[in-house]
Structure 1
Amino acid sequence: MRRFLSQRPIWLALLLSMGIGSMVARTVWTMRQDEWAFAERNNANLVKALEQSLGWTLSAMDQSLQDVAIKLEHPEVMQLQQEVRNTVLFDRPLRAAGIMDVYVINSQGEIVIDSGAMPPRKANYADRDYFQALMRGEKEGLVIGQPVLGKVTQTWMLPVARAYRGENGRVAGVVVSSIRLSYFNELFKSLDLGPGSGVNLFLGSGTIVSRYPYGDDHVGKSLAGTANMLRFLSERSGSFVGVAALDDMERFYTFRHVGPYPLVVNVAQSTDVILADWRKSALQLSFFALVLMAGCVGLAVLFTRELGRRQQVASQLQQAEHYLRTILDNLPSTISYWDQEQRNRFVNQTSREFFGSPPEALQGKTAAEVLGADGYAMVQPYVLQALQGRPQVFERTITTASGDVRHVHITYTPDREGNDGPVRGMFAQMTDITERKRMEEELFSEKERMRLTLQSIGDAVLCTDAQGRVTYINPVAQRMTGWQAFDAADQDVDVVAPLYHNNGERVEPSPVRQALGSGKPCGPTRGVVLHRKDGHRYVVEETASPITDRHGHLNGAVMVLHDVTETMALAERMARLAQYDALTDLPNRVLLQDRARQALALARREGKSLAVMYIDLDGFKQVNDRLGHDLGDELLVQFARRMQAAVRQSDTVCRQGGDEFVVLLPGLDGPEQSTVVARKVLAVCQAPFDLQGHEVRVGLSAGLALFPQHGSAFEELARHADTAMYAAKRSGRMQVRCYAGAAQEPELLAQASDSTSELA
Structure 2
Amino acid sequence: MVNLFVYLIVGTSLYNSRKHYDKLAEVTTQNLAKSLEANVSDILDKMNIVLFSVATETERHLSSRRIDKASLSLFAREQIRVLPELDRIVIADSSGTVLCGSDNTANSVNLSDRQYFSRLRSDPDLQLVVSNLLKGKVTGQWRVAVARRVNNPDGTFAGAAIGTFDVTFFDKLFSHLDIGKNGAVGIRDAEFKLIALNPKGKEAASQIGSDVVSQKTRDMVRANPVTATYKTVFARDNMERMVTFRKAAKYPYYIFATLSPVDYMTSWRKEAVGGLVLLLLFTSMTLISARFLYKSKVNALLHAEAKRYGDEMRQQNEELNAAISRVKRLEGIISICSYCKKIRTEEQSWEQLEKYFSEHSDAMFSHGMCPDCAAEQQRIFREAASSKKDPNDYH
**TM-score, with normalisation over the residues of structure 2?**
0.68
1:226 to 2:215 alignment: yes
List per-residue Cα deviations over 1:225-266 (Å, max 9, x = no partner).
832133235242342222223333211112222222121212
Q: Determine the structure 2 residue equivalent to 1:175.
A: 161
Alpha carbons of structure 1 residues 317 and 85: separation in structure 2 relative to 1, 3 Å: closer
**TM superposition shift of 1:105:** 2.0
Whichever residue aligns with residue 311 of structure 1, its letter is L
List per-residue Cα deviations over 1:345-366 (Å, max 9, x = no partner).
xxxxxxxxxxxxxxxxxxxxxx
Q: Which of 171, 180, 192 is the matching residue for 1:194?
A: 180
Compare CA radii of gyration and give the structure with the larger one: 2
1:280 to 2:266 alignment: no
Distance in 1, matches of 2:36 and 2:193, equals: 19
Alpha carbons of structure 1 residues 123 and 145: separation in structure 2 relative to 1, 3 Å: same
**Structure 1 gaps, min length 5:** 1-13, 324-760
Alpha carbons of structure 1 residues 206 and 80: separation in structure 2 relative to 1, 3 Å: closer
Alpha carbons of structure 1 residues 41 and 77: separation in structure 2 relative to 1, 3 Å: farther
**TM superposition shift of 1:310:** 5.8
1:74-223 to 2 correspondences below 5 Å: 74=60, 75-76=62-63, 79-88=66-75, 92-93=79-80, 95-117=82-104, 120=106, 122-137=108-123, 140-167=126-153, 169-214=155-200, 217-222=206-211
Distance in 2, matches of 1:47 and 1:277, equals: 23
1:264 to 2:254 alignment: yes
Distance in 2, matches of 1:253 and 1:107, equals: 43
Q: Determine the structure 2 residue equivalent to 1:60.
A: 46
List per-residue Cα deviations over 1:446-480 (Å, max 9, x = no partner).
xxxxxxxxxxxxxxxxxxxxxxxxxxxxxxxxxxx
Checking the alignment, whether the CA contact within 8 Å between 1:133 and 1:139 is kept in structure 2 is no
Whichever residue aligns with residue 166 of structure 2, its letter is R
**TM superposition shift of 1:102:** 0.5
**TM superposition shift of 1:138:** 9.3
Checking the alignment, whether the CA contact within 8 Å between 2:214 and 2:235 is kept in structure 1 is no
Checking the alignment, whether the CA contact within 8 Å between 1:61 and 1:94 is kept in structure 2 is no
SS in 1 for 2:88: coil
Whichever residue aligns with residue 102 of structure 1, its letter is I
**TM superposition shift of 1:54:** 0.8
Q: Determine the structure 2 residue equivalent to 1:300.
A: 290
* Alpha-carbon RMSD: 3.2
Checking the alignment, whether the CA contact within 8 Å between 2:88 and 2:101 is kept in structure 1 is yes
Whichever residue aligns with residue 187 of structure 2, its letter is L
SS in 1 for 2:33: helix
Checking the alignment, whether the CA contact within 8 Å between 2:29 and 2:257 is kept in structure 1 is yes
Distance in 1, matches of 2:85 and 2:10, equals: 52
Distance in 1, matches of 2:265 and 2:84, equals: 36
Alpha carbons of structure 1 residues 142 and 247: separation in structure 2 relative to 1, 3 Å: farther
SS in 2 for 1:102: strand
Alpha carbons of structure 1 residues 195 and 187: separation in structure 2 relative to 1, 3 Å: same
Checking the alignment, whether the CA contact within 8 Å between 2:21 and 2:264 is kept in structure 1 is yes
Whichever residue aligns with residue 291 of structure 1, its letter is L
Alpha carbons of structure 1 residues 155 and 87: separation in structure 2 relative to 1, 3 Å: same
Distance in 2, matches of 1:299 and 1:178, equals: 76
Checking the alignment, whether the CA contact within 8 Å between 1:60 and 1:94 is kept in structure 2 is no
Whichever residue aligns with residue 208 of structure 2, its letter is V
**TM superposition shift of 1:97:** 4.5
List per-residue Cα deviations over 1:642-695 (Å, max 9, x = no partner).
xxxxxxxxxxxxxxxxxxxxxxxxxxxxxxxxxxxxxxxxxxxxxxxxxxxxxx
Checking the alignment, whether the CA contact within 8 Å between 2:69 and 2:99 is kept in structure 1 is no
Alpha carbons of structure 1 residues 137 and 159: separation in structure 2 relative to 1, 3 Å: same
Checking the alignment, whether the CA contact within 8 Å between 1:148 and 1:157 is kept in structure 2 is yes
Alpha carbons of structure 1 residues 112 and 249: separation in structure 2 relative to 1, 3 Å: same
Alpha carbons of structure 1 residues 30 and 149: separation in structure 2 relative to 1, 3 Å: same
Whichever residue aligns with residue 112 of structure 2, its letter is A
Distance in 2, matches of 1:129 and 1:80, equals: 25
Q: Which has the higher helix share?
A: 2
Q: Which of 239, 246, 249 is the matching residue for 2:229?
A: 239
**TM superposition shift of 1:57:** 0.5
Alpha carbons of structure 1 residues 177 and 251: separation in structure 2 relative to 1, 3 Å: same
Checking the alignment, whether the CA contact within 8 Å between 1:146 and 1:220 is kept in structure 2 is no
Whichever residue aligns with residue 275 of structure 1, its letter is M
Q: How many residues align?
A: 308
Greater length-normalized contact order (CA 8 Å, ≥ 6 residues apart) = 2
List per-residue Cα deviations over 1:689-716 (Å, max 9, x = no partner).
xxxxxxxxxxxxxxxxxxxxxxxxxxxx
**TM superposition shift of 1:286:** 1.9
Alpha carbons of structure 1 residues 72 and 97: separation in structure 2 relative to 1, 3 Å: closer
Distance in 1, matches of 2:67 and 2:134, equals: 33
**TM superposition shift of 1:178:** 1.5
Whichever residue aligns with residue 118 of structure 2, its letter is Q
Distance in 2, matches of 1:226 and 1:32, equals: 26
Alpha carbons of structure 1 residues 21 and 87: separation in structure 2 relative to 1, 3 Å: same
1:318-333 to 2 correspondences below 5 Å: none
Distance in 1, matches of 2:6 and 2:83, equals: 59
Checking the alignment, whether the CA contact within 8 Å between 1:71 and 1:77 is kept in structure 2 is no
SS in 2 for 1:311: helix
**TM superposition shift of 1:191:** 0.9
List per-residue Cα deviations over 1:201-241 (Å, max 9, x = no partner).
12233332222212685323335883213323524234222
Distance in 2, matches of 1:139 and 1:243, equals: 42
Alpha carbons of structure 1 residues 322 and 78: separation in structure 2 relative to 1, 3 Å: farther
**TM superposition shift of 1:267:** 0.6
Whichever residue aligns with residue 270 of structure 2, its letter is K
Alpha carbons of structure 1 residues 114 and 154: separation in structure 2 relative to 1, 3 Å: same
Distance in 1, matches of 2:85 and 2:40, equals: 11
Checking the alignment, whether the CA contact within 8 Å between 1:72 and 1:78 is kept in structure 2 is no
Checking the alignment, whether the CA contact within 8 Å between 1:69 and 1:163 is kept in structure 2 is yes
